Homo-oligomer: A and B are copies of this chain.
Amino acid sequence: MARRSSEIKKIQDSSKRYVAFTKRRNGLFNKARELHEICDASVAIIVFSLAGNAYAFGDPSVCSVVDRYRQAGAASPDNIIPVAGNLTAAEKKIGEILEKAVETNCTGGRSVWDKEVDKLEFGEIEDMKNAMEEMKKMIRLYQRRILSDESNRAKRSHA
Binding site for B on A (CB under 8 A): 8-11, 17, 20-21, 24-25, 27-29, 31-35, 37-59, 61-88, 91-96, 98-99, 101-102, 105-106, 113, 116-118, 128-129, 132-133, 135-136, 139-140, 142-143, 146, 149, 158-159
Copies of this protein in the assembly total 2
In angstroms, Cα B83 to Cα A71, docked, is 8
A42 → chain B, closest Cβ, in Å?
A: 4
* B91 & A74 in contact (Cβ 8 Å cutoff): no
A51 contact from B50, B92, B146, Cβ within 8 A: B146
Check A50/B41 contact, CB under 8 A, given A31-B24, A87-B86. yes
A45 to chain B, nearest CB (A): 5
* Contact (A78, B61) CB under 8 Å given A35-B21, A43-B46, A139-B113: yes
Q: CB within 8 A of A44: which of B46, B50, B99?
A: B46
Q: Are B70 and A82 in contact (CB under 8 A)?
A: yes
How far apart sit A59 and B61, CA to CA, in the bound complex (Å)?
Answer: 21
Residues in B neighbouring A80, C-beta threshold 8 A: 29, 33, 56-57, 70
* Residue numbers in B under 8 Å from A57 (CB-CB): 79-81
Chain B residues within 8 Å of A38, by CB: 8-11, 17, 20, 24
